[in-house]
Amino acid sequence: MSINIVLVEPEIPQNTGNIVRTCAATGAKLHLVKPLGFSVEDRYLKRAGLDYWNEADICYYEYFGELREKYKDNAFYYATTKAVNVYSDISYPDESFIVFGKETKGLPEELLYKNKEYCIRIPMREGLRSLNLSNSVAVVLYEILRQGDFKGLKDQGALTQFDW
């Protein structure tokens, strides 16, 4: 299953670095929509992504509409705390795009309103603002991988017997 993670205007280099590492480990493609709140040469970004940076498939876009137009036939899902749909209740088609907003503001309200049937949320306790961006990406990404039976990942590094 091919999965696309989209970060719209990410602000914190460590979060993006962690997401780069997660995408590299799972084979998900990462799409970064400018403006970025950091330089891709940022030492914190590189440190968080460790040696996985060159293993990740990363594309850059000047604005979200550029990405949306390029992939107009694909399914897009929008992660937000304001959604009715729980992320695990969706059956994601192959080549889906999961869109996450900036850490301080999330995605624009107008975008969410226009796509409310495609908005997804991660359940959490009432009164809390949100989860960390890199954790949210991992939660949703691994659910999609689970739905696809972890195709291409299942036997990677698995122990066949214990030598204890």
Give the annotated binding-site residues for S-adenosyl-L-methionine: 101, 122, 130
Q: Who's near 17: CB < 8 A, 6+ residues apart?
A: 44, 45, 46, 47, 48, 49, 50, 53
The residue type of 95 is E
Q: Who's near 97: CB < 8 A, 6+ residues apart?
A: 4, 5, 6, 31, 67, 71, 74, 75, 76, 77
d(CA 8, CA 10): 6
Peptide bond into 35 cis (omega under 30): yes
The DSSP bridge partners found for residue 121 are 86
Pick out the residues of the known binding site: 101, 122, 130
